[in-house]
Amino acid sequence: MSRKYFGTDGVRGRVGEHPITPEFALKLGYAAGKILVADSELPKGERPAVLIGKDTRISGYLLEAALESGFAAAGVDVSLVGPLPTPGVAYLTRALRLQAGVVISASHNPYDDNGIKFFSADGMKLPDAVERAIEAELDKPMGCVASWQLGRARRIDDARGRYIEFCKSTFPNELNLRGLKLAVDCAHGAAYHVAPDVFHELGAEVTKIGCQPNGININELVGATHPQTVAEVAQEQKADLGLALDGDGDRIIMTDSQGNLYDGDQLLYVMVRHRLTRGQAVAGVVGTLMSNLALEHALAQLKVPFTRAQVGDRYVLEKLLECGWLLGGENSGHLLCLDKHSTGDGIIAALQVLAALKEQAVSPEALLGTLCLYPQTLIGVEMQKGFSWQTHPAILAAVQEVEQTLAGRGRVLLRASGTEPKLRVMVEGEDAQLVRQQAERLAEVAQEAIQSGKKP
């Protein structure tokens, strides 16, 4: 059964439009409370509790209040932490032994979007089955427990400090960041009062970027979706490295002092090579359908198994757990190190790369060895919900023609975005000009098909 509201990363959309409305958030809180915690095995008399965190969007206040009311109506206590990176909410949910964690964020989207996503008690994204159960509960009338059973709310004042110390604990005790000058871009998002302190307290000299949120400037020409900003600052400030997080702090893109960018595929490869250099076994790595083919080939040379999951860090996590592996991620910068954290964490992933740089005393380029990513062009085409692109004759014919043109020297991938109303068109291959040309051609065919509204 397909999910009605949940995408690859929770419920997301434009604020004020269904489902991102106060009415829906209220009912979602109630439904989630019923499903996630009603059956929790708690000692008699102990009330179930959840944690709610958010990024810096102005709409976070509205959705936070509605969710809090919904949980209270279901008889669930709520702990509020205010702005905190998504992985920080996952950590505190687990550390405080709560029944669930909730993050109000639309990650890399513009400020007038927002979303709601959940973590289970073990700090991991909810499985599809649980999200379907919540959706089924949403179809039922909302109720309210008796007054004496209503949930209460409290604020956790030291959440930021707890998470900072947790991030630092994942960095080797024998190392420090002294002598490194870092440009740290927090995208005016949830990590603005966390990430700079983590790196500074480990010894680095930090130049802050995107650390002045005003409710409407999140991701605006800064952060992981606009890494050129941190690259320019790193060059101007003669920083050793630039680190760009996204709005909710769970993805990382890096740049060196020359402005060269390093995406998730490259950073994941650095982590793998570093562990192998230290004599640690790497049982295997999980990527996604979007992971660069060059990463797969480079890992094969290291004799490290590689497999692909659906796009979305939650699917990477599911595949890692299925295989019993520790390392995985997406080229967008969602990177998972399951021996460090239960979910993708931009700060912790950056610390693993910085540990490799400090321990091996080489440049980021040297850490990549022979890995050279194949040119990849990704184009987003606006698409109405319900359009059957998978079976549209014109799109299928165009895909076949592009594959014939690439002649085995590349690949084509079309997929519906899980966070935006778009069809993602990706072409990858050895020839950059050919890849760009074919991606644009395929996107043009898809756009014409979608606009015409013709169904197969």
CA atoms within 13 A on the CB side of 418: 16
Q: What is the DSSP string of 357-421?
A: HHHHT--HHHHTTT--PPPEEEEEEE--TT--GGG-HHHHHHHHHHHHHHTTSEEEEEEE-SSSS
- Sequence-ordered list of residues with C-beta below 8 angstroms from that of 423, at least 6 positions apart, any chain: 380, 381, 383, 387, 389, 414, 415, 416, 417, 446, 450
Rg (CA), the chain: 22
* Cis geometry, peptide bond prior to residue 48 (ω within 30 degrees of 0): no
Q: At residue 159, what is the residue type?
A: A
Closest CA to 81 of 172, 174, 184, 193: 193
- Strand order in 327-329's β-sheet? 306-309, 285-288, 327-329, 335-337
- Say if CB 364 and CB 184 are below 8 A apart: no
Angle at the Cα of 321 from the Cα atoms of 249 and 280, rounded to 5 degrees: 85
**Annotated catalytic residue 107:** yes
Closest CA to 128 of 3, 25, 312, 287: 3
Distance of CA 322 to the CA centre of its chain: 20
Can you read off the two tokens belonging to residue 9?
A: 């990363």
- Sequence-ordered list of residues with C-beta below 8 angstroms from that of 321, at least 6 positions apart, any chain: none
- Say if CB 49 and CB 36 are below 8 A apart: no
Q: For residue 219, is it left (φ>0), alpha (ψ between -120 and 50) or beta?
A: left
What is the distance between the alpha carbons of residues 446 and 456, in angstroms, rounded to a whole number? 13
- Strand order in 376-382's β-sheet? 376-382, 422-429, 410-416
Can you read off the two tokens belonging to residue 14?
A: 């434009």
From 105, 107, 120, 257, active-site residue: 107
Query: Which residue matches tokens 């949980």?
Result: 71
Helix (H) or strand (E) holding 61: helix 60-73
Closest CA to 414 of 431, 427, 401: 427
Give 116's strand partners.
11, 104
Q: Which residues are catalytic?
A: 107
